[in-house]
Chains A and B, each alone.
Chain A
């Protein structure tokens, strides 16, 4: 298991947003976490990526305990994330967006003098990464001027620049047109198949997830109610109930 979560718990006020959640994610798979609104998916996601700290339980990445690590340390370890609201530097060009992350990975953010050769290496690598996510030829475009779908691809490219083993995506398909969703979905598949990455996806949209995932965890009221391959999830009674009730009750 590349990522394992055990008994993870977080309260907000009196509410158990995440309650004793266990999760095991195998390397080089696409693992999705789904559930109705308010199921605790996003909280779980933020607990794993270091935005908030759990009250109980642990998160392990490979053989290391990373519970409560800051985003910055996680990035150094090779855990990347993307954002639900695409998070890119709109005022910088596409290449520079990725170069920033490469320099950060290389510990060059505080350097004032940098040999031209080092800068060239950074730019070459950035160009390569952009080519992988289908942004070849758009290096010089201002990131803010990219089409919506391409911005999501750039968000992923920034994550890739960290040389991650694991990439966590917060609703990568949210607010996308049908065409863009296909693009992003094939990009996610490519991350697993070509780059051998482990991808954890938190998604609201069940249809695409069924097609995409190797394994799916379903959450409701802060707990895991099912954890199985898509085919089994489809026939699961509890899941069907959760979605029926969830959409009305929450």
Chain B
């Protein structure tokens, strides 16, 4: 039943890593990241756009950790992104300005709360889970307004101080780019690694056939909860970094529209491909910027595109591309 949504993981799981090639890939990825800010040296705005796109990419990856690994579809992932932003913002105004401490504290808080909430949510599947996550995100949204004295309510959380790293202020745009880039690359590498680990394979088992998995002794709900908590925590890290970079948080971060956008990144990119959602997020963020600069009707275009994608390419861009690639490879083989 979920075949169409996630047509991929069988391919990714179980490939032995090749060490030499891996080192090459790591070196290339690091080099691209290191050089990128200098390519945009004269364009501070583009560098900022790149950082926003990377934030979106981290959030998209975090949602794919949940949806791609367990098949649970969250319509309220912005709740955790926004939660991380508000938590880190409030902590930075009251406790410390050290960026590492702030991120760690946010992670801890999110992991605890997401585990408590998730313990109830993951008992549900399919549409009920989707609806509940949407409802939960509305609650977090509501909380911002209930405690508007603390959170700034409609105006958002303002005046977040510039964070520090061992006493040094972190404010240069290229440094921020490197931070986002580094977090994204490390998260992706870790997610790919987990795919090959026993945990990743157990996730695959509960996604493909939860009944069978429970009859071989797997604790299905616990496995889902691990996915939910880690997914929420990574989203919160993205939110925390975003708010420290941006200097302010708005309740819009928590809106259901934001959740929908995150889901779109993942679906357009290809659920379960990990890389696809990242590409989807980057493409979407950049496109949003350019399209919204010449028409304010961009919601129509993206809504329409989304509808079209679900109909014609449920595997997402990445899924469609790899489908073409596989077909191409097959015909090349046939030709030989």
Contact = CB atoms under 8 A, between A and B. Distances in A.
B238 interface: no
B197 interface: yes
B101 to A, nearest CB: 25
Given A72-B219, A87-B209, A103 B214 contact: no
A101 interface: yes
A236 interface: no
Nearest to B218: A104
B194 A104 contact: no
Nearest to B212: A87
Interface string B194-234: 10011101101100110111111111101100100000000
A103 B197 CA distance: 11
A15 interface: no
Contact of A100 (B193, B205, B211, B222): B205
Interface stretch (A54-62, A106-114, A199-207): A106-114
B212 A104 contact: no
A82 to B, nearest CB: 9
Interface size bracket, A side: 20 to 34
Interface in A38-83: 49, 70-72, 75-76, 80-81, 83
Interface residues of B, number: 28
A80 B202 CA distance: 18
B72 to A, nearest CB: 17
Contact of A108 (B198, B208, B209, B220): B198
A49 B217 CA distance: 12
Contact of B14 (A83, A88, A96, A161): A96
A250 B9 CA distance: 45
B216 A158 contact: yes
B217 A105 contact: yes
B149 interface: no
Q: Which 8 A-B pairs have the closest CB atoms?
A: A75-B217, A91-B10, A109-B202, A101-B216, A104-B217, A87-B212, A71-B215, A71-B214
Interface of A: 49, 70-72, 75-76, 80-81, 83, 87-93, 96, 99-101, 103-105, 108-114, 158-159, 161-162
